[in-house]
Structure 1
């Protein structure tokens, strides 16, 4: 079905003149056989602003669709890979081609992100641009805590952070596929995209268009290189990708693909191309043509704009002097439409509501429809935008005609975006626009509020850092304040560095005198997160200390330092910070939970149970907190109380195998053998089929007086720790070996929780086999007493 937008593009295409050789080459390429050596898989369009890159890309899209191809488009409205893939999926859907796998994984990714604690989300935030995380996880503790692993060890120190992240995510998200999605979003989302691409390409070939690459390339270029290298899997053979931006691709990086690439550098129109465009608009009088060529400098965007509403006779043309925008406005016959063109340039992006505020039009729908049809306005994923060259010129005219009117309209736009930021789900995006318009209204000549907002964005919404720095630069440029423009350009250049960008940006921001205590605290907090992301927790601590000095009563700063100290196994100090966070925000569950876990790490089991019990009270519908509290109650010898939590947890998360595993253990301890048998069967049918599940299965088999193969199978597994091995040996009546192994193991340090769990296993063996296990139980109790 032909859409309204398709009709617009067809009409626009009808007047598209110039670049004929590029269009012909692209069109020919669409029709070449796959094996033809002249066929190109990658087109790269580059040139200065105003030369028609995006317009040429739109013509490539038109040609692709006319050739029966499916097209996907990405521009700077996407700030990360998830957003870019989402934009492609929406574009495909508008052509009746749904990316089911990708859409489902994007929905799952966003949903799972919301489930994670803020600190864990912070640690995972950079994975969308930094690639994937190794998924290996090795259980190397003697006895896992029921329902999960007490500790994680890896034979490669460099992978320790990854495994810890995976462990934390696994405890919150039990579905294995979703764990991989959260830990490796680039890889998992791309694989889903390629699955859809393979299916869709069977119906029709696909073309992808990556526009404004000077902005999107920071996250799209590494991804695109990985696609070409086959890292994520095979691409359809007939896929064609077009990249357009201000700069040519780095030949050192893209050299291996020169044989499949068509480079298209764009410059201003030639005299012949310019005259052809004017001729299509009925402008052939040499005097008029000469003036228009001079006014436009043959820059395509200017020429198209002037031709759209240009003079029809010599009396209107005058000479070649004067501003090109004023000439264009002079030739628009309706004053209302002239105002629409001028005032519509004030916002950086447009929809009808924003246009109505900027213009004050009494007929905004009609005027906005006219504006959208102009050659210098194009539709993007986040609304409509003026071509930047035209917008800048329009703004200069407004400032020259009436600075007070210019200020007043920006003031109204600032109020609009301030209100919208409180109501929409895109607070920071709208807040950036509000700060831009406040600055442009003359109310904030040093861009103080925008710089302060940048500190907040760096601390909590890092995906928008580049957008904020670019806005600062643009605000200075649009309002003819070179000091602000240069400062924005400096910060934008720093932010563009993928390796050291955030560190350099924040270091520079801290030099700015306009920052207040809260913003300095936020900047230090963001610096701390940078070092945590780089796996340098020790380097993060000074910045966390500074953040606390600047914001001593902000619970999140104490909490974040506690998290870093806990990672460094400095649990006593972490406990102090978590306690302060709880004091400042006693009804917040997350700091309370972390304090409970710190107590548990310090073997303060009673205190840990109090905190985790309070966490359950504050969040009674969180299955994770219920399970963790239940595990601790089991360790404290209160399985009946634990079952109250576990029954509720099962209601909330019936597909969570780890909860069923914990429930099976508690039911064995209270003598509910049939219920334990049901629970362990459910656990093992889900994801919870580890060493502990197999041991519990063996104990259930013994309790039901059945032969069991699981003791022997566990002993055949070299990864099974010695405490579990000793339990298995005792279950097989290999008592001398079991006692020798247990005594040998107890010569080394062991956590009280590990010892208690092992003792409970031996007590279950004694109860259900009738054999005397007192030797093992007494050895474990003696070790517990000596370590108390």
Structure 2
């Protein structure tokens, strides 16, 4: 199956009918029945019905079915990728993982996407630099924010074995009807900083679809992954990130129905596929295949399992000898899991199964730390069990099975529970310490390996001693909130898992509170507010909470509130270098230059983690105060520490320009742009330097390039208008200056220049 020629309508109708037969058959829940479901058909089907959402309760077979579809897709030559709740805590993270899988399977590097990831990383670093806050670069007279123009897209969320995909021509007809009404309702995702990544990802999918007939994206446990991707997916449907070919398919699988309010516009295109339990006949077939045929045993299994495929399979694997071995009593799932464990004949295997249930994620190292010494060779056996799944390096128990095993161990053997969790916590602490070697403290939260071990360590310590460890966990939640939203969500998910597994009331209350905060329009600020208002934070954690909150308010252009918050942080801990540095930056932006220099100098004296940034910020305070030599000395020192610091290069260029050294200014702006090609301010500033040097054509070229990156850049528009005026193109000058005034009606300089251009044009 190679090439990208669309299939004809007749063939498309035939495979559509086969697809529907395979999707809606309950026997497709397990591979035992999958081969019996594809039916020949000749009737036409409505081309609009090509979006599928698989749903059902835990244990009904959703993940199993998705694995079967993925295997069938690959056999048919499709390129596939799959995500579950362990992979997704934000759009950026999800896209990177999807792209990695697609590139690996297609043996085709996604170079455009890789470049977008690198650009995203630079933008994130820039966003973490207060000196680069949008609209606050040196010499910019206004705070106009850049507008993001969203393109057109058409993603098909649905599901299907690749050989049963819809005809691209007929599918397009269904989408066109929907788009007409959807564009007016489109709204930007909260993860707006991932727009560039999304566009690049869509572009790569288009390229892959030219080489492969189908690309299939699978999203399991949508009740979890949808928390972060539901809005993003609907943006794709609403023409958000560029047009997709219709041979990109998406499979969603989760417990719940799609939210009616958000998904109402798409109901006509969604084929809901509710999975139900086995019929008695289907269950008997599976039991017979497992060697369970004694009528009394079969009836007992049917009664206890309620037809859930997972429980039927577990009870069958237990090999019960007679009906009394399958008696019910108490929670059905607990009984089924208990019977399965009880009938594992090898005691080492039984111990390994129970011990490893305590770890939310498993790899061979975690297995070795969790399992008894005599069971260390059973990793391969464990991975082959029906309740163990996962991709790549990590495996996990089915949530239903794990919850039951965790519950039993916590209630039946509390001391063993505590000892086992502490052993796993100590193992992750050792792995975390290894990851820290050579990793500066300021970079730890950005390192996935360090962060994973830190999260798992805290989870296990909370399970062992919830009350004693809760204050430390909340203190770390402060730092997670100060890092980024995806990390904060990971942290709150860990608290939620620990709360669920321990049933500790205080831990549950905090998990609910923080998970609710992450749904706020501003998750970090809402979480920090909750931690400060209700938390049991120690002195250091409270100081950091005020510091992160002040920094966040500063980014939101709430400068006075930011300074007040940073004052609170420093009242608690006067030696908090980060609070000093950010308060200094806030003073600099507010024009309180001497206070800025004092705070930034104090932060540098305390060995601020990012000395290059503090030096650059202090240098710009000196520049604004007219102390050019001291400014350039600070910029030079910052660049010695970090030669790739584009903002410091650009700011040094502004200092040279201020001193009239235009050639040096242009050289610095050019160097900054080599590091950060999308640096709109540096382009516009270089244009201004060219203009002052008398080269209006080169100035106009730079202004135009800056405006391509930031269409609503009033300063660049006004400056280009002035360059046109100086070049004698008065109509172009009036047009640009008028556009700048529409963006910023109080822009007095542009108003005066437009008056001059109008007079010169004879108006």
Report the TM-score range of the alignment, normalised by the length of the smaller protein.
0.7 to 0.9
Tell me, yes or no, if structure 1 residue 73 matches structure 2 residue 95: no
| Residue 283 (structure 2) aligns with | 274
- Give the counterpart of 1:91 among 90, 96, 101: 101
User: How many residues of Structure 1 are paired with residues of Structure 2 in the alignment?
Assistant: 652
Distance 1:661 1:471 in 2: 45
**What is the SS of the residue equivalent to 1:436?**
helix
- The whole-number CA distance in structure 1 between the counterparts of 2:526 and 2:293 is 55
Matched, 1:371 2:382: yes
Separation in 2, partners of 1:238, 1:411: 49
1:418 corresponds to which of 429, 447, 454: 429
User: Could you say if the C-alpha distance between residues 26 and 197 of structure 1 is closer, same or farther in structure 2, counting changes exceeding 3 Å?
Assistant: farther
Q: Residue deviations 1:294-326, cap 9 Å, x none?
A: 443433322222222332x32983644483333
Task: Give the C-alpha shift of residue 216 in structure 1.
Answer: 1.9
Q: Which moved more, 1:238-247 or 1:524-533?
A: 524-533
Q: In the alignment, what sits opposite 1:20? A: 27
CA distance 1:335–1:107, change in 2 (3 Å): same
Q: How does 1:365-444 map to 2 (within 5 A)?
A: 366-380=377-391, 383-424=394-435, 425-426=447-448, 427-442=450-465
Distance 1:60 1:27 in 2: 15
The residue correspondences of 1:446-485 to structure 2 (distance < 5 A) are 447-485=470-508
If you compute each CA radius of gyration, which structure gives the higher value, 1 or 2? 1
- Tell which deviates more after alignment, 257-266 or 520-529: 520-529
Structure 2 equivalent of residue 717 of structure 1: 733
Q: What are the equivalent positions in structure 2 for 1:251-270 lying under 5 Å apart?
A: 251-270=260-279
Residue 347 of structure 2 is matched in structure 1 by 335
- TM-score for the superposition, normalised by structure 1: 0.70
Give, in whole Å, the separation in 1 of the partners of 2:75 and 2:678.
50
Equivalent runs, 1:139-218 vs 2, <5 Å: 150-153=139-142, 160-162=144-146, 185-202=193-210, 203-218=212-227
CA distance in structure 2 between the aligned counterparts of 1:719 and 1:603, rounded to whole angstroms: 34
Displacement, 1:233? 2.3
2:366 is aligned to: 354
Asked if structure 1 preserves the Cα contact closer than 8 Å seen for 2:120 and 2:194, the reply is no
1:326 pairs with 2:334? no
Distance in 1 of aligned mates of 2:636 and 2:660: 15
Shift of 1:362: 4.6
**Aligned counterparts of 1:116 and 1:30: Cα–Cα separation in 2:** 56
Residues in 2 aligned to 1:721 and 1:381: alpha-carbon distance in whole angstroms:
56
Q: CA deviation at 1:122?
A: 10
Query: 1:21 Cα deviation (Å)?
Result: 6.9
Equivalent residues of 1:29, 1:39 under 8 A apart: no
Say which SS state the counterpart of residue 733 (structure 2) adopts. Answer: coil
Separation in 2 of the partners of 1:650 and 1:214?
A: 44
CA distance in 1, matches of 2:40, 2:528: 50
- Rounded Cα–Cα distance in structure 2 between residues aligned with 1:585 and 1:720: 47
Q: String of CA shifts for 1:632-683, please: whole Å, max 9, x gaps.
A: 245335679x5998599599869999999999999999xxx9xx99x989x9
Residue 233 of structure 2 is aligned to residue 224 of structure 1: yes
Q: CA deviation at 1:457?
A: 0.5
For residues 351 and 698 of structure 2, what CA distance do their matches in structure 1 show? 73
Q: Residues 461 and 248 from structure 1, CA distance in 2 versus in 1: closer, same or farther, beyond 3 angstroms?
A: same
Relative to structure 1, the CA distance from residue 631 to residue 561 in structure 2 (aligned partners, 3 Å threshold; closer, same or farther) is closer
Alpha-carbon offset, residue 254 of structure 1: 1.2
For 1:649 and 1:583, how far apart are their aligned partners in 2? Answer: 30
Residues 579-604 of structure 1: CA deviation (Å, up to 9, x unaligned): 43234337912112112212323444
Find the aligned partners of 2:545 and 2:39 in 1 and give their Cα distance. 50
- What displacement does 1:105 show? 3.0
* Structure 1 residues 547 and 650: CA distance shift in structure 2, 3 A: closer
CA distance in structure 1 between the partners assigned to 2:315 and 2:394 by the alignment: 24
Partners of 2:678 and 2:287 in 1: CA distance = 68
Aligned partner (choices 109, 118, 127) of residue 108 of structure 1: 118
The answer as to whether partners of 2:55 and 2:254 remain within 8 angstroms in 1 is yes
CA distance in 2, matches of 1:122, 1:629: 14
Deviation at 1:386, TM superposition (A): 0.7
Indicate the residue corresponding to 1:118 in structure 2.
Answer: 128
1:559 matches 2:570: no
List alignment gaps of at least 5 residues for structure 1: 2-15, 125-136, 140-147, 155-159, 165-182, 700-707, 723-740, 749-788
Q: State the match for 1:548 in structure 2.
A: 570
Relative to the length of structure 2, the TM-score reads: 0.72
Aligned to 1:13: none
CA contact (8 A) 1:525 1:547 kept: yes
* Contact 1:43–1:242 (8 Å) recurs in 2: yes
What secondary structure, in the 3-state scheme, does the structure 1 residue paired with 2:247 have? coil
Q: What RMSD, in angstroms, separates the aligned Cα atoms of the two structures?
A: 4.8
Q: Deviations over 1:230-272 (max 9, x none)?
A: 2222222233322122321112221121121111234544444
Question: How much has 1:208 moved relative to structure 2?
Answer: 1.9
Q: Deviations over 1:519-557 (max 9, x none)?
A: 112223333355445554444443333222233211111
Measure how far apart 1:492 and its partner are. Answer: 1.7
Change (3 A) 1:543 1:428: farther
Equivalent residue for 1:299? 308
